[in-house]
């Protein structure tokens, strides 16, 4: 099913206070660039957070490391921040995940931006397991920018999104992700592609697999109906929404749909507080975050 509808009228909530975690790696600098670009679009204040330790140390060690970290951050920010930009730097000797969550609360930040490393799951993310914990525990959305492997290139040079790819399984978490994406798209004049991946039922009798044409047809009709309901809520606003319905495993379908749509960001929802393994769509969102060369915006749905 491919179609175009118009999204609904809502009060928009572009981020006005952004918290970006920077560990001075190339990936975290890419995350910083995304945060600063979005801040200019939304006229937001930016807090740059750096944790330079998570163990006890002597005062001399802390002071020396703080000076080193301060010099490194100054060098990064010098070419990126202009006089008059509302950018604050916070450095603490603290566990990075705890520090990011605390700094987010202290700054009243409504968006967290983090870089993630590698392709082996969120356990290998920004500063170890930091991104995993932040995604799990933060009530604010988290924008994840993955490190690019050898030979990989960012699919878009734009750090301000103009095309959003929203993954849905029609559950509450993905409904929230779509609503938030619509709100964001209205403010930044972006379009949305809503993608849903479905699987056909398989019934086994002895050694035979029985799937009738009626079964296949019903699955497709149900998926089309659910997709139409998802977009019908947004029929009065001025955001174009394309729909992409795919019979395929969910994570590859989402990534392929993002390629086809030339999406700048992928948007997913998560539910609960019981870990990345509980991301919406099962382990699909984790797989998307791990494999996507595009930024992934994660919205958390509390229990």
| CA distance linking residue 9 with residue 258, whole number of Å | 25
Q: Can you give the pLDDT at residue 159? A: 66
Q: Can you give the pLDDT at residue 10? A: 40
Q: Can you give the pLDDT at residue 127? A: 35
* Whether the predicted pLDDT of 199 surpasses 60: yes
Answer whether 288's CB lies under 8 Å from 255's CB: yes
Q: Rounded mean pLDDT of 251-256?
A: 94
Q: Which two tokens stand for residue 213?
A: 């044409």
Q: Rounded mean pLDDT of 223-231?
A: 88
DSSP strand pairing (208-210 vs 203-205): antiparallel
Q: Can you give the pLDDT at residue 69? A: 84
For 24, 72, 238, 275, the CA distances from 136, given in Å and listed in that order, are: 24, 29, 33, 6
Among 251, 104, 125, 230, smallest CA distance to 174 is for 230
Number of H helices, E strands in the chain: 8, 13
* Whether the predicted pLDDT of 68 surpasses 70: yes
Q: Can you give the pLDDT at residue 303? A: 62
* Whether the predicted pLDDT of 206 surpasses 80: no
* Whether the predicted pLDDT of 53 surpasses 90: no
* Whether the predicted pLDDT of 292 surpasses 70: yes
CA 218 distance to own-chain centroid: 33
- The CB-side HSE value for 150 (13 A sphere, CA atoms) comes to 0
CA 179 distance to own-chain centroid: 14
Question: How many Cβ atoms from other residues are within 10 Å of residue 106's Cβ?
Answer: 12
Q: Which two tokens stand for residue 258?
A: 């993002």
Q: Can you give the pLDDT at residue 164? A: 95
Query: Which tens digit of pLDDT belongs to each residue from 142-178?
Result: 999 887 766 777 776 566 788 999 999 998 888 989 9
**Domains by residue range for the chain, with CATH:** 4-11+160-269+277-294 (3.40.50.620), 17-146 (3.40.50.620)
Q: Which of 10-14, 132-136, 237-241 has the lowest mean pLDDT?
A: 10-14
The model carries a pTM of: 0.83
Q: How confident is the model at residue 274 (pLDDT cuts 50, 70, 90)?
A: very low
* 3-state SS assignment for residue 47: strand
């Amino acid at each position: 099913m491919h179609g175009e509808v118009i999204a609904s009228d809502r009060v928009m909530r572009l981020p006005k206070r952004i918290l970006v975690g920077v560990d001075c790696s190339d990936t975290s600098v890419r995350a910083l660039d995304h945060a600063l670009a979005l801040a200019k679009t939304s006229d937001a204040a930016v807090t740059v957070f750096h944790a330079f330790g998570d163990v006890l140390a002597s005062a001399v060690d802390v002071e020396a490391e703080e000076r080193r970290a301060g010099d490194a951050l100054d060098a990064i920010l010098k070419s990126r921040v202009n006089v008059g930009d509302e950018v604050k730097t916070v450095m603490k000797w603290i566990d990075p995940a705890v520090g990011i969550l605390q700094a987010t609360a202290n700054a009243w930040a409504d968006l967290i931006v983090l870089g993630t490393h590698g392709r082996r799951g969120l356990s290998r993310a920004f500063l170890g397991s930091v991104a995993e914990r932040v995604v799990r525990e933060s009530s604010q959305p988290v924008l994840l920018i993955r490190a690019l492997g050898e030979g990989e290139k960012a699919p878009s040079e734009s750090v301000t999104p103009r095309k959003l790819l929203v993954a849905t399984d029609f559950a509450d978490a993905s409904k929230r992700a779509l609503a938030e994406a619509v709100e964001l798209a209205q403010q930044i004049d972006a379009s949305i592609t809503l993608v849903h991946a479905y699987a056909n039922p398989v019934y086994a009798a002895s050694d035979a697999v029985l799937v009738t044409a009626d079964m296949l047809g019903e699955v497709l009709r149900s998926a089309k109906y659910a997709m139409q309901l998802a977009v019908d809520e947004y029929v009065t606003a001025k955001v174009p929404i394309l729909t992409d319905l795919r019979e395929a495993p969910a994570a590859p379908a989402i990534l392929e749909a993002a390629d086809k749509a030339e999406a700048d960001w992928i948007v997913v929802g998560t539910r609960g507080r019981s870990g990345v393994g509980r991301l919406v769509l099962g382990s699909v969102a984790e797989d998307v975050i791990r494999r996507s060369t595009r930024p992934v915006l994660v919205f958390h749905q509390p229990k």
